[in-house]
A and B are shown apart, each in its own frame.
Chain A
Amino acid sequence: MLRKLRQQRAFHLMLVPSIILVFIFSYLPFYGLVIAFQDYNPGLGFHSPWVGMENFEHVFKQEKFLRTIWNTLYMSIFKLVGGLVVPVIFALLLNEIKHLKRTFQTLVYFPNFLSWVIMAGIMIDILASDGIINTFLSLFGLKPVSFLGNPSIFPWTMIVTDIWKGFGFGTIVYLAALTGIDPGLYEAALIDGAKRWKQTIYITLPLLTPTIILMAVLALGNVLNAGFDQIYNLYSPAVYESGDIIDTYVYRLGIVQAQYSIGTAIGLFKSVITSILVVLSLVLAKKVAGYRIY
Chain B
Amino acid sequence: MVQDKSLGRRLFIFANYLILFVASLICILPFVNLLAVSFSGSAAVAAGDVVFWPVDFTTKAYEFALEGSQFLQSLWVATQRVVLGTIVNLILMVLTAYPLSKTKDKVMGRGIYMGFFVLTMLFNGGLIPSYLIVVKAGLIDSIWSLILPGALPVYSMIILMNFIRSLPEEIEESATIDGAGPMQILIRILLPLLKPALATVGLFSIVGHWNSWFDGIIYMNNPDNYPLQSYLQTLLLNFDQIMLRAGTDYSELLAQMNVRTGRAAQLFLGTLPILIVYPFLQKYFTKGLVLGSVKG
Contacts and interface: CB of A to CB of B under 8 A. Distances in A.
Interface residues on A, range: 35 or more
Given A22-B152, A124-B236, A94 B2 contact: no
Interface of B: 1-2, 4, 9, 12-13, 16-17, 19-21, 23-28, 30-31, 33-34, 37, 48, 51, 92, 95-96, 98-100, 102, 106-108, 113-114, 116-118, 120-134, 137, 148-152, 158, 161-162, 181-183, 186, 207, 210-214, 218, 229, 232-233, 235-236, 260, 263-264, 267, 270-271, 274, 278, 281-282, 286, 289-290, 293-296
Contacts of B107: 8, 11-12
B213 A115 contact: yes
B245 to A, nearest CB: 19
A156 interface: no
B125 to A, nearest CB: 3
Given A15-B113, A120-B236, A251-B127, A114 B161 contact: no
Interface of A: 1, 4-5, 8, 10-12, 14-15, 17-19, 21-22, 24-33, 35, 90, 93-94, 96-97, 100, 103-104, 106-111, 113-115, 117-118, 120-126, 130, 132, 135, 164, 168-169, 172-173, 176-177, 183, 186-187, 190, 195-196, 211, 214, 218, 228-229, 232-233, 247, 250-251, 254-255, 260, 263-264, 267-268, 270-271, 275, 278-279, 290-291, 293-294
Main secondary structure on B side of the interface with A: helix
Contacts of A14: 95-96, 98-99, 182-183, 186
A291 B296 CA distance: 6
A94 B17 CA distance: 9
Nearest to B149: A25
Contacts of A229: 213-214
Contacts of A21: 92, 148, 151-152
Nearest to A171: B23
Given A31-B129, A93-B16, A122-B31, 18 more contacts: A8-B107, A10-B183, A11-B99, A15-B100, A22-B152, A24-B137, A25-B133, A33-B129, A107-B27, A109-B282, A114-B271, A117-B270, A122-B33, A125-B33, A135-B51, A250-B128, A254-B128, A294-B118
